[in-house]
Amino acid sequence: MQLRKTVMMLTALSALSVVMTGCPGDEEGSLTCTVDGDCIEGEICHPGSKVCVKTCTAAVDCPSSAKTCAAISTSDSRQVCQCSTDPLCNSEGTTDLVCSTLDKVCTPKCTTDASCGTGRTCDTATGQCKAGSNTGDTCSGEGQSTCTYGTQFCSSNKCAALPAPSCQNYTNFASKSELGTTGVIIYSARVASAATDTTYCGTSNPKRVKIAVSAYSNTPFPQTKDELNGFFYVVVDGSKLSGPASVSTSAGNYTVSGTNRERAEIVYSICRPADSTTTSTGFYFTSGNFFCFQADYL
């Protein structure tokens, strides 16, 4: 009987220890923090996720919810217990935790950008905090800059949301599953020129309208326009055409810039009736955003 009581007492103490550590499973989630002093002994405040995490020297020091002992980052050699899956983070009965894709630690699901902290935004669909700035944060240059990849661009030195597509080209487009936020991102467009050009367009639709499309990428843009794989133009009825096919090989129609060739301006040519003054256009790269542009010209 005495042995049984001892076992029960040890079990209770073990359960109390789990709650006290701030590991997933207690009512306070992962113990959000701002400094190490907010955490209990044996824990530190994770510099990225701002949650208390257990320090370690080996995997044996870590709980089952975060079984890997590893350095915080290449620039921070402190070792902490890291997670691998959302289910493991919730193994103590919770349902509102995720394994951060950025930091590999269990964190409460985010609901707003503010809950992610500086330099991060919230993907409310997954509850994950993603790298990137909040809308309105200061940025420099153009394209992605320091703004969130796939959802923002730098506009007048402020991070701005990419314009949501609302044109008929997009409404009638049946292959929306080809879109995303990880591919090449189109962030602006402008009319480069509009003039009669029967050599290029013929006589039925003699006006050649050139639209300069600006895009950014997390991989270097190719050397030539013909290597722009997955670039498409979408007409008003929703059907798509090859993008590179209507980009001239002449100088100035495909310009790449940036230290890592991360920005490009692509001049796309459209043939329109002689008396036309406006046309609705749509552009996208596979796994990227859909960009609508109402081209107005004389």
pLDDT tens for 6-28 read: 433 433 333 333 333 444 433 34
Q: From CA 48, how far away is CA 72, in angstroms rounded?
A: 9
Here the tokens at position 194 are 């509009």
The percentage of residues in the chain with a pLDDT greater than 90, rounded to a whole number, is 75
Is residue 104 within 8 Å of 125, Cβ to Cβ?
Answer: no
**Nearest CA among 230, 237, 248, 212 for reference residue 287:** 230
Per-residue pLDDT tens over the stretch 164-195? 999 999 999 999 999 999 999 999 999 999 99
Q: Average pLDDT of 43-47?
A: 93
DSSP state of 259: T
* Residue 48 confidence class, pLDDT cut points 50, 70, 90: confident
Q: From CA 168, how far away is CA 190, in angstroms rounded?
A: 19
Q: What is the mean pLDDT of the chain?
A: 88
Q: From CA 284, how far away is CA 163, in angstroms rounded?
A: 13
Here the tokens at position 149 are 């990849």
Here the tokens at position 132 are 């990137």
Q: Which residues contact 282 (CB under 8 A, 6 or more apart)?
A: 165, 167, 169, 170, 173, 233, 234, 235, 290, 291, 292, 293
Q: Would the pLDDT of 286 be above 90?
A: yes
Greatest pairwise CA separation for the chain in angstroms: 101
Q: From CA 289, how far away is CA 164, in angstroms rounded?
A: 9
Q: From CA 55, how far away is CA 59, in angstroms rounded?
A: 10
pLDDT of residue 115: 82
pLDDT of residue 294: 98
- The domains located in the chain, with CATH, are 42-104 (no CATH), 168-296 (2.60.40.10)
Q: pTM for the complete prediction?
A: 0.62
